[in-house]
Structure 1
Amino acid sequence: MDVLNPEDNSYDDYYNADELEDFGLCKKTHVKEFSIAFLPVFYSVTCALSIIANLTLLILFIRYKTLRKVLPLHMVISDILFTLSLPFWAVYASSEWIFGDHSCKAISLIYMVSLYSSNLFVASQSLQRFLDIACVVSTTSIISSPKRNIIMCILVWLLSVLGAAAHVSFVATQKFHGQYICTHHFDDKPGWKIYLRFQMNILGFVVPFLVLLFCTVRLPCVAVARSTLKVFRHDIGFTVMFFLLWFPYSIVIFLHALQDLHIFYACTTNIHFDFAIHVTECIAFMHVFINPVLYISLNKKVWRRLRNACKTPREYLLEESNSSSIISTLDGAIELKAVQRYQAHGLSVSAERPGNFLPEPM
């Protein structure tokens, strides 16, 4: 699902005869066969894993009020919205677009809004933690933390909707070689295609990654307690994972933009880029279930609640009884040591004063 064309396996580039190499057609049948065989399976597996991971985290947020935070909750909502679009792309990858023109625009809108917002919410969490710690250290804060989180949420959704609107305005369905495709149609406006590729790179990768990197680098400078060092481990985990998931995809999008500028024009290069966009895109889309899993694993409170929720009543009672027996054993040991200490103290006093139970002579 190329960011500019919601499903690559049905694109004009796979069938057209515009690209020539040594006066021959540039055929992309291998790319089409790969996408038909691989993408439906990948989208289905990713959808299933995402539903499990995100619903697990969402249930924990609903069940335990102490775990509920604004920005992580919105990140989960964004990932769930992204997950809802995957079944449509899986069906599209296996055949053609069968859901109509209005659904093409609606699903593309949900897909792009959730893609942008998910990455921005990951960055916003690090920024929120950094600002909270910085304000505590400096003891100065113009805006309270709850209000700041609400402002961040509004800005993220607003930027995501505006960024997605530019994409959706060019999305439509059309019949091509007897099949309906849902894709971008730039007609005589090729500059918009290049612009949207750079917008995807800047808003989808560069801005979130720079925010994550800044917070990760600056946090040790303001961290003065162990709790803030724990937050540092949380931030560096998300920063590294975000880079591994999205950097390859961003590089390939940038190369596609250069190809649109006719810097690369060889047929073999074009085919390699198409394979690369599929592979790196699939890596990037794994964020939809990696984000909640990473959040749970790096947050000890959330992990502890999940671990306790997964235990059976018998295991829970057994653990409680074991912990109680350990505590009672420790208490007994403490009492025994106290008695022994008291007896030793009494013996030492008796040795110094044999008649200590009688009044001393005047």
Structure 2
Amino acid sequence: MDVSDPEDNSYEDYYNSEGLEDFGLCKKTHVKEFSNAFLPVFYSITCALSIIANLTLLILFIKYKTLRKVLPLHMVISDILFTLTLPFWAVYASSEWIFGDPSCKAISLVYMVSLYSSNLFVASQSLQRFLDIACVVSTTSIMNSPKRNNIMCILVWLFSVLGAAAHVSFVEMQKFHEHYICTHHFNDKVGWKIYLRFQMNILGFVVPFLVLLFCSVRLPCAVVVRSTLKVFRHETGFTVMFFLLWFPYSVVIFLHALQDLHIFYACTTNIHFDFAIHVTECIAFMHVFINPVLYIVLNKKVWRRLRNACKTPREYLLEESNSSSLVSNPGGAIELKAVQRYQAHDLSISAERPGNFLPEPM
């Protein structure tokens, strides 16, 4: 949600814009109609896709111990928390805030914490891979990988909570034009409003993107030739996708900060900014289901497990039979060999089901 309002980009801005055009007050009826019609549908679809994608990845982490890593697991948790706020914003976008003031603050807190943490965890995974490979190449390590990953998780959640606290301290439910709204209330503290916009850009986009960019450039240079293409594809995929999702939103937030400084004040410009913040925000919110899908597609081990989990026993046997190097023998030697492989595969899966669901550090 925009810094000035988690759903509606500040009702006060809609009715109190300083830029006046040919017909007096700057009314933004079309922006309101667009948000009321489009946002509930978008939030609902995004919520459904996110639940499917993140639960699929979470089930794979729970089912297969070898796939369970700390940072990806925390990324999934963060995206699930973000997803849980979307139904509230969908209801809010269609009418008004009906959940009360405590829920306004609580939902805003979860939303901001999960937004910051999701982006930081995406960057932390690249940083973790770079540190692991760099330590192997240099044969020096300040601390072991599990301990370092746990510290990174703690730092990500800490920075996310601190960043979200600055937002939530200004959030409250208000009654405006006979409607209840859940929005930031800055009074005359315009400086805080501008600060939160820049914090959103720096902590939510600039820092994660610079980490991703650095790792995507440096990491392929530190690995052996055989793995260079695989590492380059993985790092570049996340970096490019992160940029495409979040750069437009960050630009519009920056332009809104300039608008708060009264560098832009024309009514038509304000209306265009309001449309832009809704569109780019929706693009950015797609990260909640793109992150797990991208992780599954770019990680061969995860993709292989998911593909095998979706196969029926008959399909598995047919694939094993086709890949077998044995020639057909009387009595079905190939099929017997495939059955034996399937049974061995099934036993290996069962052996990977631990008694607890705690992640295994990378």
| TM norm structure 2 | 0.88
Note the C-alpha offset of 1:18.
4.7
Amino acid aligned to 2:220: P
* Structure 1 vs Structure 2 CA RMSD: 1.6
Gapped runs of 5+ residues in structure 1? 332-362
The residue that corresponds to 2:58 in the other structure is 58
State the 1:222 CA deviation.
Answer: 1.2
The one of 304, 327, 330 equivalent to 1:329 is 327
Aligned mates of 1:79, 1:126 — CA distance in 2? 18
Q: State whether structure 2 residue 81 is matched by structure 1 residue 81.
A: yes
**Corresponding position of 1:354:** none
Larger radius of gyration: 1
Give the superposition deviation at 1:13.
1.9
- Are 1:96 and 2:96 an aligned pair? yes
1:214 to partner: Cα distance: 0.5
* C-alpha spacing 1:17/1:151, structure 2 compared with 1 (3 Å): closer
Q: Partners of 1:329 and 1:236 in 2: how far apart?
A: 43
Partner SS for 2:4: coil
Question: 2:160 maps to what in 1?
Answer: 160
Q: Are positions 1:287 and 2:287 aligned together?
A: yes
Secondary structure of the residue aligned to 1:175 is strand
Instruction: Report if aligned partners of 2:6, 2:183 keep a CA contact under 8 Å in 1.
Output: yes
Aligned to 1:172: 172
Residues 1-10 or 101-110, more deviating: 1-10
Query: Helix, strand or coil for the counterpart of 1:180?
Result: strand
C-alpha distance in structure 1 between counterparts of 2:216 and 2:10, whole Å: 41
| 1:7 counterpart SS class | coil
| Alpha-carbon distance in structure 1 between the residues aligned to 2:217 and 2:226 | 17
**1:302-354 residue CA offsets vs partner (Å, 9 max, x unmatched):** 0000000011122122223333xx321299xxxxxxxxxxxxxxxxxxxxxxx
- AA matched with 1:223: V
Partner of 1:201: 201
> Structure 2 CA distance, aligned partners of 1:17 and 1:151?
45
Would you say the 8 A contact 1:9–1:93 is kept in 2? no
1:259 aligns with 2:259: yes
Q: CA deviation at 1:99?
A: 0.2
1:109–1:168 CA contact under 8 A, matched in 2: yes
- Answer yes or no: is 1:127 the counterpart of 2:127: yes
Distance 1:174 1:275 in 2: 23
Q: Is the 1:9–1:32 Cα contact (8 Å) retained in structure 2?
A: no
Cα shift at 1:10: 6.4
- 8 Å contact kept, 2:221–2:228: no
- Return the alpha-carbon distance in structure 1 between the equivalents of residues 9 and 269 of structure 2: 17
Deviation of 1:23 after TM superposition, in Å, equals 6.5
The 1-side partners of 2:306 and 2:4 are apart by 39
Bigger CA drift: 197-206 or 15-24? 15-24
1:221: Cα distance to partner? Answer: 2.2
TM-score by length of 1: 0.88
User: In the alignment, what sits opposite 2:137?
Assistant: 137
Matching residue of 1:300: 300
Give the corresponding residue for 1:42: 42
Identity %: 89
Task: Report the 3-state secondary structure (helix = DSSP H, G, I; strand = E; otherwise coil) of the residue aligned with 1:306.
Answer: helix
Q: Secondary structure at the match of 1:4?
A: coil
Match of 1:316 in 2: 316
Following superposition of structure 1 onto structure 2, how do residues 109-120 of structure 1 map, counting pairs within 5 Å?
A: 109-120=109-120
Counterpart amino acid of residue 11 in structure 1:
Y
